[in-house]
């Protein structure tokens, strides 16, 4: 079952990809869109993103059956307060943020009775942002985590079916567990990437030209991750602070152990550790969550 009217609040990579994936799936939903920036709205109109681009969030959500909050997590509370009086009774509000506890805390109090709030998190993305960055296959073979947090079963199941039609696999998850899992598989890796690129920049003995010219796959992929939207990642770490700090603490302990092994020449420890971590990478490939092709599967946008 599709939603007759869908409102996308925020028109970046995720929302634009959702629109193109809906069109690929043959959904006949009428899709409205809103972005805070007038230039973003103009770009969306120019490229045919959404059926109607509105100049206010209130207008975009009017009569919508599904409202998708696709803004940075730090802005979700304010946008929820803005749209709340204009939501249709019985509609579903969802989000695409990578943090859930703080989003639920910020959004849920503003929503009126009779509106279903079903938080979600599509675990897909690239380093690109903006309305022109979206493409229909972004969610293919990726996971969308659904965090119902007491939402009605019918609303939750309908949202699951919607995401599956966009190409994603879905799994329900409890709030705190979601935030911890995402700290492991997404948030802290991004922080490490930002840090590694910062360290390279600080090494004045290596010129900028050499860093760029001799970038091997490892450092190149660090820079790809570190190119992600700074507003989004600032908000992620401020709103998922406890889980991120817990995983950073564990990472630091592992790093100290490896540092000790290198210092003492403990080759057996290093070999065993690298063998174990290689098996995890192979598991990711077997699960279809990446490709071992030389281009790492990051070479094209398709419609």
pLDDT tens across 167-177, in order? 999 999 999 99
pLDDT at 69: 98
List the single range of 53-57, 225-229, 282-286 with lowest mean pLDDT: 282-286
Q: Parse the chain into domains and list their residue ranges.
A: 5-173, 177-264
Q: Kindly indicate the confidence band of residue 244, based on its pLDDT and cuts at 50, 70 and 90.
A: confident
Q: Is domain 177-264 annotated with CATH 2.60.40.1170?
A: no
Per-residue pLDDT, 217: 62
Question: What is 5-173's CATH number?
Answer: 3.40.50.720
What is the pLDDT confidence band of residue 297, given thresholds at 50, 70 and 90? very low
Q: What is the DSSP-derived secondary structure letter of residue 87?
A: P
- More reliable by pLDDT, 69 or 210: 69
Does the structure show a pLDDT above 90 at 39? yes
Q: Which residue pairs, CB below 8 angstroms and at least 24 apart, start in 30-34? A: 30/4, 30/5, 30/6, 31/5, 31/6, 31/7, 32/5, 32/6, 32/7, 32/8, 32/59, 32/60, 32/61, 32/64, 33/7, 33/8, 33/9, 33/60, 34/7, 34/8, 34/9, 34/10, 34/59, 34/60
Considering the entire predicted model, what is its pTM? 0.77
Share of the chain above pLDDT 70, in %: 85
Kindly report, residue by residue over 171-227, the tens digit of the pLDDT: 999 999 999 888 887 887 878 878 877 777 666 555 656 666 666 566 767 677 777
pLDDT of res. 147: 96
Distance of CA 221 to the CA centre of its chain: 18
């Amino acid at each position: 079952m599709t939603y007759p009217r869908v409102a996308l609040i925020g028109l970046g990579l995720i929302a634009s990809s959702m629109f193109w994936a809906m069109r690929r799936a043959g959904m006949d939903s009428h899709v409205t869109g809103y972005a805070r920036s007038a230039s973003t709205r103009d770009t969306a109109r120019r490229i045919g993103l959404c059926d109607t681009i509105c100049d206010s969030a209130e207008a975009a959500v009017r009569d919508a059956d599904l409202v998708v909050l696709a803004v940075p997590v730090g802005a979700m509370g304010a946008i929820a307060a803005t749209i709340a009086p204009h939501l249709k009774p019985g509609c579903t509000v969802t989000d695409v943020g990578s943090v859930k506890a703080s989003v639920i805390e910020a959004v849920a109090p503003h929503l009126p009775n009779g509106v279903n709030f079903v938080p979600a998190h599509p675990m897909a993305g690239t380093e690109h942002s903006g309305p022109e960055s979206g493409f229909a296959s972004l969610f293919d073979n990726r996971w969308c985590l659904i965090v119902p947090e007491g939402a009605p079963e019918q609303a939750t199941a309908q949202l699951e079916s919607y995401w599956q039609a966009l190409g994603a696999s879905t799994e329900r998850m409890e709030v705190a567990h979601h935030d911890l899992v995402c700290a492991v598989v997404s948030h802290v890796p991004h922080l490490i990437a930002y840090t590694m690129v910062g360290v390279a920049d600080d090494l004045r003995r290596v010129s900028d030209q050499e860093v760029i010219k001799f970038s091997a796959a490892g450092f190149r992929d660090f820079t790809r991750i570190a190119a992600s939207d700074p507003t989004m990642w600032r908000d992620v770490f401020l709103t998922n602070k406890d889980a991120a700090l817990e995983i950073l603490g564990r990472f630091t302990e592992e790093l100290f152990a490896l540092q000790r092994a290198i210092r003492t020449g403990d080759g057996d420890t290093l070999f065993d550790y690298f063998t174990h971590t290689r098996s995890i990478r192979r598991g990711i490939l077997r699960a279809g969550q990446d490709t071992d092709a030389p281009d790492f599967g990051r070479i094209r946008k398709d419609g």
